[in-house]
Structure 1
Amino acid sequence: MNEQSPLAGLHILVVEDAFLVALDLSDQLTDSGCEVIGPAASVKQALEKMDGVALDGAVLDVNLAGERSFPIAEVLASRGIPFLFLTGYDSSTVFPDEFQQAPRLSKPVNANALKNAVAHFRHR
């Protein structure tokens, strides 16, 4: 773990259904000092993984094999846990009104953009 990183010690839920992308995201976050919860590949898995776990934030793929991750975002928002969406969608019409202003990163995800976005979780 990188104890000098601004991400050191953050507990981050990763929700991504593409195995290699999930592995890459998890590795990037772990290498930056985060403790990764997951990855989870579905809404059900994500909700199970976050049950009883203290999270500092979450990285949510919008489309999970045809299922949207918005129910996870609703639970996170109700708990005051920051999150960001990963998306390949250009249009914001995919997002419900309550998540129009939520932070988003486009796929493929730039490693520095991911680290900078997750670093903001600490300051919320």
Structure 2
Amino acid sequence: MRNFAGLQVFLAEDEFHVLQLIESVLLDLGCKVTDTVSSLPAALSRAVETEAQIAVLDVNLHGQLVYPAARILRDRRIPILFSTGYGGDGLQADWKTESVIQKPFAIGQMEAALAELLSTRKESI
């Protein structure tokens, strides 16, 4: 298993148990979860200030789409991994090029998604 030692992650997820599960997976992979939010207003606020290196965002936070916070993160050049039960089909058209992981997922799938996200990020720099 690859170790993402110290990789700082912003995590937005509205279901508490799913948030705990994703956080546990990220910690097992060596990541440091710097911010956790469960609502769009909190995501908007933290997106402006976070020092995270990547973001894992649930697309739907209590019925509100996370895209306004994602725009802030994208403008700040923080790579985004969308997390949704619908996979890539769950993303709006202008976000289809972003990385996505379909829930539920195994640790190996998160590991692969993070590795791909980081390799894509390095290629674009």
**If the length of structure 2 is used for normalisation, what is the TM-score?**
0.83
Structure with the higher fraction of residues in helix conformation: 2
Q: Which residue of 1 aligns with 2:10?
A: 13
**d(CA) in 2 for partners of 1:106 and 1:113?**
9
**d(CA) in 2 for partners of 1:117 and 1:47?**
24
Q: Which residue of 1 aligns with 2:105?
A: 109
1:33-112 counterparts in 2 under 5 A? 33-89=30-86, 92=89, 94-112=90-108
1:25 aligns with 2:22: yes
**d(CA) in 1 for partners of 2:102 and 2:87?**
8
Tell me if the contact between 2:48 and 2:72 (Cα under 8 Å) persists in the aligned partners.
no
Q: Summarize deviations over 1:36-64 as a string: whole Å, max 9, x none.
A: 02321012112333443322101111111
Tell me if the contact between 2:59 and 2:65 (Cα under 8 Å) persists in the aligned partners.
yes
**d(CA) in 1 for partners of 2:91 and 2:97?**
9
State the one-letter code of the partner of 1:6.
N
Tell me if the contact between 2:48 and 2:73 (Cα under 8 Å) persists in the aligned partners.
no
**If the length of structure 1 is used for normalisation, what is the TM-score?**
0.84
**d(CA) in 2 for partners of 1:119 and 1:90?**
18
Q: Summarize deviations over 1:16-42 as a string: whole Å, max 9, x none.
A: 000000001011111221110232101
Tell me if the contact between 2:58 and 2:82 (Cα under 8 Å) persists in the aligned partners.
yes
Percent identity for Structure 1 against Structure 2: 32
Number of aligned residues = 120
Cα RMSD between the aligned structures? Answer: 2.0
Displaced runs of 4+ in structure 1, greater than 4 A? none
Structure 1: runs of 5 or more not aligned: none
Structure 2: runs of 5 or more not aligned: none
